[in-house]
Amino acid sequence: MLHDVDIGSFKVGASHRHFLIAGPCVLESERLAIETAQSIAEIARALNIPYIFKSSYDKANRSSGTSFRGPGLKDGLAILKKVKDEVGVPVLTDVHSVEDATEAGTVVDVLQIPAFLCRQTDLLLAAAKTGRVVNVKKGQFLSPGEMANVVAKLEESGNQRIILTERGTTFGYNNLVVDMRALPIMRKFGYPVVFDATHSVQLPGGGGTKSSGQREFVAPLACAAAAAGCDGFFMEVHPDPDHALSDGPNMVPLHDLKKLLDRLMRICQAAGKGAESDR
C-alpha cells in the first residue's frame, strides 16, 4: 500500500506532483531565511511545485567544534515560525534529541531525522509521537533495505506520516556515492521517497575541519533520480553559497534553481513521474 502524506495544504506521494524541500543549510539570520524562502516559493509556484522550506537551528554534527552551528532551538524556531507565517509555506527542520523533537513539533510541519541518527529509536519515537510528518534521512552507513526497520519503529508508534530520503552512501574516506536502486527499494515500504541532491555530493570531512563538496554534480545526480523515480527533491539552496556559514560547497546557488527545477520536471514528465510503472 502506498501512503499519501498531508503537508500543509498539499499531499505528497506516488499519485501527486513532485515536491521540493529547499532552503539554506543553517539559519544564518531571520532576513536571509525569509528572503530565501520567498524567492524559492516564487520559483516553485511558477513551476507548480509544492514547496517546503528547510533550515537548521543547530548543526549539531559539524566537523569542528569552532564551526557555526546556528541560532539554537528557541531563536531558530521563532525564525521558522516567521517564515511559515509570512511566506505561507510549510517548514522543516532537523532534530537531534528527544527534547528538541517535542519542542520543534509545536512549530514545524516536518521533523527531519539526520542520517547519522536514523537508527536512534528514542529520537524516532519522540518525533513520531508529535504527530508531525517525519522525514528520515537514510544513514550513509545503511543499505536501503535496512530502512524497513526505521519505518517499522515509526509505524509502531502510530504515525504513518513518513518520508524517506536518500542522501548517498559512504565510499571509502571523505566520499559518497549514490546507488539509484535505493529509490525503488525504499519506495516498496509504502511511503514517499525523496532524493537529497546536495548532501549526496558532499565530501564529508573533506575540508579538514569542515566538509567539502562537489556542487557541479548536483544536477547530474538529480536528473538521474528524476528518471529512476522519486517523489520529491531535497536541495540546500543559498543566495551566495561560497560565503555560506555551513555546507557552501554543495549548496545550489539560488540563481541556478529555476533552471535546474525546470529541467527536472521535464525529465519527471517524460518518465511518467519517474518509473511510474514500477509503483
Tens of pLDDT, residues 25-66: 999 999 999 999 999 999 999 999 999 999 999 987 766 676
Mean pLDDT calculated for residue range 128-153: 98
Q: How far apart are CA 258 and CA 36, in angstroms?
A: 13
Task: Answer yes or no: is pLDDT of 277 > 50.
Answer: no
- Kindly report, residue by residue over 80-132, the tens digit of the pLDDT: 999 999 999 999 999 999 999 999 999 999 999 999 999 999 999 999 999 99
DSSP state of 7: E
Residue 2's pLDDT is 85
Give the per-residue pLDDT at 274.
45
Name the β-bridge partners of 22. 53, 235
Q: Quick one: pLDDT band at residue 209, thresholds 50, 70, 90?
A: low
Q: What's the CA angle centered on 105, arms 166 and 18, to 5 degrees?
A: 40
Identify each DSSP E strand in 144-214 by its residue range: 162-166, 169-170, 176-177, 193-196, 202-203, 212-213
Nearest-5° angle of CA 241, CA 116, CA 40?
Answer: 35
pLDDT band for 273, please (50, 70, 90 cuts).
low
* One-letter amino acid of 12: V
In contact, 211 and 200? CB cutoff 8 Å: no
- State yes or no: pLDDT of 176 exceeds 60: yes
Burial of 163 (0-12, 13-18, 19+ CB in 10 A): buried
| The residue count for the chain | 279
In terms of CATH, what superfamily is 5-278? Aldolase class I (3.20.20.70)
DSSP strand pairing (19-23 vs 51-54):
parallel
Q: Which residues contact 275 (CB under 8 A, 6 or more apart)?
A: 184, 227, 228, 229
Q: pLDDT grade, residue 205 (50/70/90)? A: confident
For residues 238 and 252, give the distance between their C-alpha atoms in angstroms, rounded to a whole number. Answer: 6
pLDDT at 210 (0 to 100): 62
CB 2, CB 19: distance < 8 Å:
no
User: Within a 10 A sphere around the Cβ of 272, how many other Cβ atoms?
Assistant: 12
- Ranking 13-27, 181-195, 263-277 by mean pLDDT, the lowest is 263-277
Q: What SS3 state is found at 234?
A: strand
Nine-digit cell string for 137: 534521512
Percent of the chain with pLDDT over 90: 88
Quick one: average pLDDT of 11-23?
96
Average pLDDT of the chain to the nearest whole number = 94
Per-residue pLDDT, averaged over 145-166, amounts to 98
Instruction: Decide: 134 and 161 in contact? Cβ < 8 Å.
Output: yes
Q: Which residue has the higher pLDDT, 210 or 137?
A: 137
Helices (H), 6-132: 30-46, 73-87, 98-104, 121-129
pTM of the model: 0.95
CA distance 14 to 180: 17
Instruction: Please name the amino acid found at residue 200.
Output: S
